[in-house]
Structure 1
Amino acid sequence: MQEERLEKIKEAKVTAVIRTETMETGEKTSDACLQGGISSIEVTWTTPEAGELVKKLNEKKTDKVIIGAGSILDGEMAKEAVESGAEYIVGPNFSREVCDIAMKQEIPYLPGCMTINEMLVAEKYGASIIKLFPGNHFGPSFVKAVKAPIPHLSIMPTGGVSLENIEDWFEAGVTAVGIGGEINRAGEQQDYEKVKQLAEAYMEAAEKK
């Protein structure tokens, strides 16, 4: 089960990180991302009624789509995410408690790491993909440097990924990327057509790699 879910994240290439002021905006933004071809949606737990949003998205998704939970900091949040139907868990940090819950539930865990030591510790305890966060403080050259001595490490930068540099990230060897800023801003402005167009543009760029 975990491997199947992990493969979906990798095949998606782009994960839309949904962080909105209301659940309704989050749902509409997610729908627009899906219409634009993004098949991995990460609902952050800072979004109001995030658990309900995960449930709603799961009720209408296709088999190709995978819905995860983001900004998960501790075991209590992780359990809530699992009960809501999240198929993967993402955090801004590495938590052994969250990792253990994810492993028990056979759910991929993507913890946020900044240093090589953090990455190797997270991998040792079972992290599926390392979330390089915040990605804008590093850049593609950092990933390339890390993967030279540790080529098997799966890395997904979040923060700092744009249409201008997404191809550079993939050329550096990332497994996938997380995007959110532009998409969430358009969503908050209720410009869901722009959200869809951005999703299409990111997918087109990702598919080149």
Structure 2
Amino acid sequence: MDMYSMVSQNRLLGILRNVPLEKTVDYAEAAVRGGVAFFEVALNSPHALEQITLLRSHFGDRCLVGGGTAITVERCRSAIAAGAQFLLTPGTPLDVLSYCAAQNIALLPGVMTPTDVAVCLEYGYKTMKLFPAGSMPDHYLKDLKGPFDDTHYMAIGGVTPDNLHHLIADEGYLSVGLASSLMPKDAVAANDWETCEAYVRDLVSRLP
């Protein structure tokens, strides 16, 4: 249920938000060849459920595929039915926390405040995503972990190629998630997947 093992073993999460359906496999293949095998498909994107099913079918055990923006129980059910192996939320909707805990569903809940963290701990989730991490001052996570020393975090929101090393090496995040900055938009638009692969490989090389 808790995602510590999954997150600690995959330092970079590739977030697919509004990626055109016809580019889904090529986009993910470029990321996998570049060294990323951990994906979130944002459930408020067009064709999200189709993309989850498509990625699971295409890659099998070669990568992990989850559903993000799982802000309602209905979305959770739909994503799991489509093949999602884990879920993510931007906040702490109690019905989602309760549902996923009861169903033993791997969930990475989104937090920002000590209250958010305390709520997640009540439901058994010790590994969370801090959102928006890029908007937080340096040392925020270390201060947050002071009273919550048995918790772990992924940084999402405002993560860039320039700060991902700093967030993990200096700030103490287990991993980071990248959406629009995972690949250059012009290369994606041109279906230049070799450039995309090289770009992702460079990102992975920056991880500590």
> What TM-score do the two structures reach when normalised by structure 2?
0.88
**For residues 126 and 64 of structure 1, do their structure 2 counterparts lie closer, same or farther at Cα, with a shift above 3 Å needed?**
farther
**For residues 47 and 178 of structure 1, do their structure 2 counterparts lie closer, same or farther at Cα, with a shift above 3 Å needed?**
same
1:18 aligned to which of 16, 19, 22: 16
| Range 84-93 or range 180-189, more displaced | 180-189
**For residues 85 and 134 of structure 1, do their structure 2 counterparts lie closer, same or farther at Cα, with a shift above 3 Å needed?**
same
2: CA distance, partners of 1:110 / 1:183: 20
Query: Secondary structure at the residue paired with 1:130?
Result: strand
2: CA distance, partners of 1:123 / 1:144: 17
1: CA distance, partners of 2:127 / 2:197: 26
Matches within 5 A, 1:31-42: 31-42=29-40
Q: Which residue identity is paired with 1:205? A: R
Gap regions ≥5 residues in structure 2: none
2: CA distance, partners of 1:188 / 1:145: 41
In the other structure, the counterpart of 1:104 is: 102
In the other structure, the counterpart of 2:77 is: 79
User: Alpha-carbon deviation of 1:178?
Assistant: 0.7
Q: Is contact 1:161–1:179 with CA below 8 Å preserved after alignment?
A: yes
**For residues 185 and 70 of structure 1, do their structure 2 counterparts lie closer, same or farther at Cα, with a shift above 3 Å needed?**
farther
1:50-78 CA-partner distances (Å, limit 9, x unpaired): 11111111112253521100111101001
Q: Which residue identity is paired with 1:12? A: N
In the other structure, the counterpart of 1:198 is: 199
Q: Which residue identity is paired with 1:183? A: L
RMSD of the TM alignment (CA)? Answer: 2.1
2: CA distance, partners of 1:87 / 1:189: 30
Matches within 5 A, 1:151-162: 151-162=149-160
Q: Is contact 1:88–1:108 with CA below 8 Å preserved after alignment?
A: yes
The sequence identity of aligned pairs, in percent, is 23
User: Alpha-carbon deviation of 1:163?
Assistant: 2.1
1:129-180 CA-partner distances (Å, limit 9, x unpaired): 2111112211442112212332221111111212221121112211211111
1:110-135 CA-partner distances (Å, limit 9, x unpaired): 12211111112112213352111112
Query: Secondary structure at the residue paired with 1:61?
Result: helix
**For residues 20 and 184 of structure 1, do their structure 2 counterparts lie closer, same or farther at Cα, with a shift above 3 Å needed?**
farther
Query: Secondary structure at the residue paired with 1:183?
Result: coil
2: CA distance, partners of 1:148 / 1:181: 32
Q: Which residue identity is paired with 1:203? A: V
- Stretches of 4+ moved more than 6 A in 1? none
Query: Secondary structure at the residue paired with 1:152?
Result: coil
Greater helix content: 1
Query: Secondary structure at the residue paired with 2:181?
Result: helix
1: CA distance, partners of 2:10 / 2:54: 20
**How many residues are paired up?**
205
User: Alpha-carbon deviation of 1:107?
Assistant: 2.2
2: CA distance, partners of 1:82 / 1:184: 27
Gap regions ≥5 residues in structure 1: none
Query: Secondary structure at the residue paired with 1:155?
Result: strand
In the other structure, the counterpart of 1:181 is: 180
Q: Which residue identity is paired with 2:54? A: K
In the other structure, the counterpart of 1:122 is: 120
Q: Which residue identity is paired with 2:195? A: K
**For residues 104 and 191 of structure 1, do their structure 2 counterparts lie closer, same or farther at Cα, with a shift above 3 Å needed?**
farther
2: CA distance, partners of 1:195 / 1:109: 29
1: CA distance, partners of 2:16 / 2:178: 9
**For residues 119 and 21 of structure 1, do their structure 2 counterparts lie closer, same or farther at Cα, with a shift above 3 Å needed?**
same
